[in-house]
Structure 1
Amino acid sequence: MCRNIRVLYHFEPPTSQDEIRAAALQYVRKVSGLREPSAADVEAFGRAVDEVAGATARLLRSLRARTAVRTREGERAKARARGERRAARAPQPPG
C-alpha cells in the first residue's frame, strides 16, 4: 500500500472530508501514475477523485468499530517507531 495513504477509520476527532479527499487524490495518483493529469484528462481525474472520496466516506460511515478509538498523535508515534525500526535494520554505509 502507498505509504502516503493513511488509516482514516475510527478516529477521535472523526476523519474530515479534507482527509478523505487527500487520501482519494493519493490513490488516484498512484493507480494512474500521474501527479497531475494532462489538460485532456483533468475531468476524468477529478471525477475519479470524487468517486473514490465518496466511496471512502460511505465505507467509513458503514463500518462498526471493534477496536479502541485512534488518535492522530498515537498514529504518528506508531509511524515514528516503525521508521526507527526500519532505519535500525537498514545496512549502515561504510565510513
Structure 2
Amino acid sequence: MCRNIKTLFNFAPPATEDEIQAASLQFVRKLSGFNEPSKANEAAFNQAVAEVTEAARRLLDSLVTRAEPRNREIEIERARVRSVKRFGTGKS
C-alpha cells in the first residue's frame, strides 16, 4: 500500500488537491488495515482521511526549499526505470 504514497513537495506544478487526498487515503488505509472500511467504521475512516488531507496540505504549504522544483515527467521516468531494474519488464 505505501508504495502508492508519492513525494508531493517541490514539484512544478505543485501537488493538486487530488494528489494530496490520494496520498492521505493510502496513509489511512495503511494505518487502519482497511482497504474499504465497514459501514460501522466508514465515518471514522472518512474523517481520518479528511484530517490527514488537511494536515498534509498545511505541511506542504509551510515547507520551504532553495532547490529547484522537480519535473514530474522526469521523476515518473526515473521511477519507471527503477521499477524495470527491480522487477523486470513483466513481458515474456
TM-score by length of 2: 0.88
Identity across the alignment (%): 52
* Alignment partner, residue 49 of structure 1: 49
Pairing of 1:1-95 with structure 2 (within 5 A): 2-87=2-87
Runs of 4+ residues over 6 Å off in structure 1: none
Amino acid at match of 1:83: S
Q: Which runs of 5+ in 2 are unaligned?
A: none
Mapped partners of 2:71, 2:43: distance in 1: 35
CA RMSD of aligned residues (A): 1.4
Q: From the CA coordinates, give the structure whose radius of gyration is larger.
A: 1
Q: Deviations over 1:10-44 (max 9, x none)?
A: 11111111110010001101111101110011110
**Going by fraction, where is strand more abundant, 1 or 2?**
2
The number of residue pairs the alignment matches comes to 88
- Cα distance in 1 for partners of 2:74, 2:57 equals 22
Stretches of structure 1 lacking an aligned partner (at least 5 in a row) = 89-95
